[in-house]
Amino acid sequence: MSKVYGVILAGGIGTRMGNVEKPKQFLDLGGKPVIIHTIEKFVIHPGFDAVLVLVPQAWVSYTRDIVRRQIPLKDKITVLPGGNTRNETIMNSIRYIEEQGDLDDHTIIVTHDSVRPFVTHRILDENIKYAGMYGACDTVVPATDTIVRSDDHDQITEIPDRKIMYQGQTPQSFRAKRLKELYDGLTESEKNILTDACKIMVLKGEHVHLVRGEVYNIKITYPYDLTVAQALLGMKTEEMQKC
Amino acid sequence: MLNAVFQLVTPRQFEVTFHQLELDEEHVLIRPTFLSICQADQRYYQGKRSEEVLKKKLPMALIHEGIGKVIYDPTGNYKVGEKVIMIPNEPFKKDEVVAENYLRSSKFRGSTMDGFMQEYVQTRPDRLVRIPAELNNDHTAAFTEMVSVCYHAISRFDRTAHRRRETIGVWGDGNMGYFTSLLLKTRFPDSRVIIFGRTGEKMADFSFLDDAVFTNAVPEDLYVDHAFECVGGSGAGPVINQIIDHINPEGTISILGVSEEPVPVNTRMVLEEGLRIIGTSRSGRADFEGLMELYHEKPETVGYLEKMISAVVKINGVSDMNNAFDMDIHKFTGKTIMEWN
């Protein structure tokens, strides 16, 4: 039976968060690091055989420590070093799966930003289902703002019809072996341009199915996002200030 | 872990919020699959509770009838994926005399704590009941709690009422009246069970009973040994007094219908005839287990329950929740089930 892996991507160092000491995935949200909330969502989902957590090399030991201390089903979790880019981090996870002897045509990886802790059971369910059915899927929400395209960053080139525009979230899920084949076939310059794994699939003519996300499946990128996340948790203003 | 909880914040307005769940060694995590709407939920949804009550209880997740799948069980009682019925009553003390559903220290989902409209429900393993093979329809299993309340009322009646049970009357042709009548006839097949109602079309569904009587045309010489009131609301008073007029001396009146306002009762006749009036509310684990045993012994009962499903609404977001509750308001009879995604 082919396996389903949750792949939590925390390769970035979080430099966009301003003057914080830790990468954003390790910031506290309601008494726990953001990444722990995200791992918990994956680890209790029965659809995953294993969960891989990829973090910067310097944070591997730290992540193993907090996982050991804070998550009960830790045997299901493996912490690995990420790569230099998002796609290299994904490839590290696939290499690990291959080393375990688990990579076959139907092995599925559900890749997810470690800083999206509000992902739901339904979104994970549908990612596993549609990646198995179509080979790849991407989680999106309908665009609420009008999208403006500007090729020269000075004037409007185009305003696409908002009705057919979506905002990408994660998870993005794939048949791991097929994704690896396509990625390995890219030139170095293509690899530099194609920073999104779903984009690789689309450009190579693969079907990428849409999974409905949720507006609250937010990515904690900026300090403002952390405030929104705390508000979603129902924290009062004075509690937020203590964090 | 962050758990999405869909709370009613004001009448007719649901909003998502997140609560932290600690994955400990004592609690089981359930993924709700099918939830059933009850009149008690509707009273909150439509703002029919007093302003004081609404202010005190909201925001709160509604729904106390439902089933789900086990997602995580560190206690080792259940397998992952197993289907279970969730018991909404959460006792915190044990009492040798008072049942768990009457203890003031107990909490109840969708009333004194968040109900089942959540991404995951975390509960103790003794608050779960395995779904037996006989109950093979998820939609029917979803409203087991309501049937268990009727089972509980009948068990209390059985312990309290005198032994002559030749004729038993059930007042109220809604869901509560239907389930109570069905279980009464199943548990006391030799008794003549009569439904007293207002709508001929609804009473026609009570095909398993011996008789149906319109409440506005009760024959003067018709008397029952015992009665169940399943009406509630503003209709409770007139119905209880009609029962008093048509019950034999020393009969037992079991009251199941909830009324927001105090109900005037003809106590002169209660005294004169030596009547017993017993109130019943909610249910506990023993009632769920007893009901499952009854389904096992009399599997044909389940078939009568299936026909009470009024609508099944897929829930993919907050607007679907409003649709399900609005649809439930306008139903003729039966139960509205939410397929929880």
Whole-Å CA distances, B272 to A123, B218, B245, B250, B292? 64, 22, 12, 9, 40
Q: Is the CB of B281 inside 8 Å of chain A's CB atoms?
A: no
User: CA B68, CA B144: separation in Å to the nearest integer?
Assistant: 12
Domain ranges (residues) in chain B: 2-143+308-340, 148-279
Calculate mean pLDDT across residues A203-230.
93
pTM value is: 0.92
Tens digit of pLDDT for each residue in A145-188? 999 999 999 999 999 999 999 999 999 999 999 999 999 999 98
The CATH number of residue A13's host domain is 3.90.550.10
What per-residue confidence (pLDDT) applies to A12?
Answer: 62
What rounded mean pLDDT belongs to chain A? 91
Instruction: Using pLDDT thresholds of 50, 70 and 90, give the confidence band for residue A109.
Output: very high
Could you tell me which CATH class the domain B148-279 is placed in?
Answer: alpha beta
Full residue range of the structural domain in which residue A96 is found? 4-139+168-242
Is residue A144 a part of any domain in this protein? no
pLDDT of residue A14: 45
- Read off the pLDDT of residues A55-92 as tens digits, 9 standing for 90 and up: 999 999 999 999 999 998 889 999 999 998 999 999 99
The pLDDT tens digits along chain B (341 residues) read: 999 999 999 999 999 999 999 999 999 999 999 999 999 999 999 999 999 999 999 999 999 999 999 999 999 999 999 999 999 999 999 999 999 999 999 999 999 999 999 999 999 999 999 999 999 999 999 999 999 999 999 999 999 999 999 999 999 999 999 999 999 999 999 999 999 999 999 999 999 998 999 999 999 999 999 999 999 999 999 999 999 999 999 999 999 999 988 999 999 999 999 999 999 999 999 999 999 999 999 999 999 999 999 999 999 999 999 999 999 999 999 999 999 98
Mean pLDDT of A191-202: 89
Q: What is the number of domains present in chain A?
A: 1
Instruction: Compare all CA atoms of chain A with the CA of B16 and give the residue at the minimum distance.
Output: A232
Is the pLDDT at A21 greater than 80, yes or no?
no
Q: How far apart are CA A41 and CA A235, in angstroms?
A: 20
Reported ipTM: the value is 0.88
pLDDT at B201: 93
Distance between CA atoms of residues A109 and A111, nearest Å: 6
Rounded average pLDDT over A213-240: 82
Asked if the structure places residue A151 within a domain, the reply is: no
Residue B1 touches chain A, beta carbons under 8 Å: yes
- For the segment A1-18, the average pLDDT, to the nearest whole number, is 78
Instruction: Indicate whether A126 belongs to any domain.
Output: yes
Can you tell me the distance from the alpha carbon of B56 to that of B293, in angstroms, rounded to the nearest whole number?
Answer: 38
For residue A153, tell me if it sits in a domain: no
Q: Which CATH class is domain B2-143+308-340?
A: alpha beta
CB contact under 8 A, A73 and B1: no
What's the pLDDT score for residue B238? 96
Whether A233 sits inside 8 A of B18 (CB atoms) is yes
Which A positions 17-56 lie with beta carbon below 8 A of chain B? 30-32, 37, 40-41, 44-46
Q: How far apart are CA B159 and CA B99, in angstroms?
A: 14
Tell me if chain A has a CB within 8 Å of the CB of B72.
yes
Contact between A90 and A197 under an 8 Å Cβ cutoff? The reply is yes
- Work out whether the CA dihedral B14, B20, B26, B30 comes out positive or negative: positive
Chain B residue with the nearest C-alpha to that of A119: B2
Residue A189 is predicted with a pLDDT of 87
B119 vs A232: CB contact, 8 Å cut-off?
A: no
pLDDT (average), residues A202-208: 93
Nearest CB partner across the interface for B81, out of A40, A46, A117: A46
Query: Distance between CA atoms of A89 and B324, rounded to whole angstroms?
Result: 44
For residue A135, pLDDT beyond 70: yes
The percent of residues in chain A predicted with pLDDT above 70, rounded, is 92
Q: Assess B82–A contact: CB distance below 8 Å, yes or no.
A: no
Is the predicted pLDDT of residue A190 greater than 80, yes or no? yes
> Would you tell me how many other CB atoms lie within 10 Å of the CB of residue B48?
14
Q: Does residue A163 belong to any structural domain of this protein? A: no
For the cut 70, the answer to whether the pLDDT of residue A16 exceeds it is: no
Asked if A40 lies within 8 A of B1 by C-beta distance, the reply is yes
Which of these, A89, A88, A63, lies nearest to A74 by C-alpha position? A63
All residues of chain A having their beta carbon less than 8 Å from the beta carbon of residue B74 are 72
